[in-house]
Structure 1
Amino acid sequence: MAILAEKYFSAIVSCQVHKSVSVIKNKLTEEQMRMFKTTPFGPLLDVDLVFNGQHFHHFLLREVTDANLDVISFNILGKKDLNDKDSSCKDVENAFEKSTFINDEDAVKVALTLFIKMVMIGKDKKIQFDVKTFGVVNDPEVFRHYDWSAIFFKRTLNSMKTIMHGKKEAHETKKVENAHYASYYRIEGFVLAFELCSFISISL
């Protein structure tokens, strides 16, 4: 289904997934990597899927209103597709890269916290780092039973449902000054899960 001209605007879309994954992979030793891969997030470290910003942007341009706040809907090919304190995140990531860990368990716990914050939740690196996640990861029992899926789902859904607000109007304003202007925005949450679902939906 074609996008109506009055709804379309060009944009560059990014997410944090691959940047932070590379940091973690380069930092952890072989033993620390083995320990990381025994956690629920281990298999996700090797997901071979490249984030496609334009693909994501074109889906968001086709969003249609849905009364259910826990659902985001798109009009694809004429049909509706449902899918049911002071340190910044960047400071913590830099400290992780530069640190020398004498304990493998500590290294893996910090790596897990970074993975959750930067890859699964998709935090802006300039935002203050919430240390509460350290507490959850530090307690094996709490970590194992924590409702991560609900957090990641809500984070991704909220980002997708709100990120386009005002973008078209801002784009038109900037385009008056520069005809080749392209908007920029960054999606939060674990966007690769949605991207995979969208590829499956299109192929059906």
Structure 2
Amino acid sequence: MTRSRIPRPAGAAAVLASVLLLAGCGGSSSPAGDTAAGKDDVASLQTASAPAAGDTSPTAAAPSTDPDQGRPQLRLDMTDAETQVYWEGYWKCLKEHGHKMILGRGPYSVDQNDNSPTAKAAEKACAGKMPLQPPETERETNPDFDEDYRDYVACLNDGGLHVTALPGNTGWTYAGENTLSPEKAANLDLHCKVEAFGGKNS
């Protein structure tokens, strides 16, 4: 069984399996309740008035060019239950905008094979609700990612979860029979994630 280090839209069954997932997987930019509500944020457009004579102060802030601005930021020490709140806010938004769901797998089981124009429009409309992974667990924002990931996998093995890293450290797969309960495995995963990715920089 292969695990990805990045959470992807999934149904209830996959969500249950994600207790072993490196959440996937910084501080939270908004309260969990606000994000999970699935409400669309509507920005108001205001026309700036002309400046008075001799007034050189800016009349309006320049629009941000950061495509990730406003997206909820997941923290390294978040539990699966905490990150799930944010992901459900994103999945709910996709459903409300017409993205196909897989029936029988829970209310927010996103059909990842839906490449229709409606699905693409939904993804665009909900982009601001898609959680950002902790920067420590992203290769682009962590120069020590590969070393940290090796430490993470070693920690899992030391704790009794027999796994091996996939090529390129893109995830891990079981290397033997798992004898840990889901609760113990989830606790071990969180401990190893924080120790391996956050221990050196905390």
For Structure 1 versus Structure 2, the TM-score category normalised by the shorter chain is under 0.3
Greater Rg over alpha carbons, structure: 2
- Scaled by the length of structure 2, the TM-score of the pair is 0.25
- TM-score normalized with structure 1 length: 0.25
Greater RCO structure (CA 8 Å; 6+ sep): 1
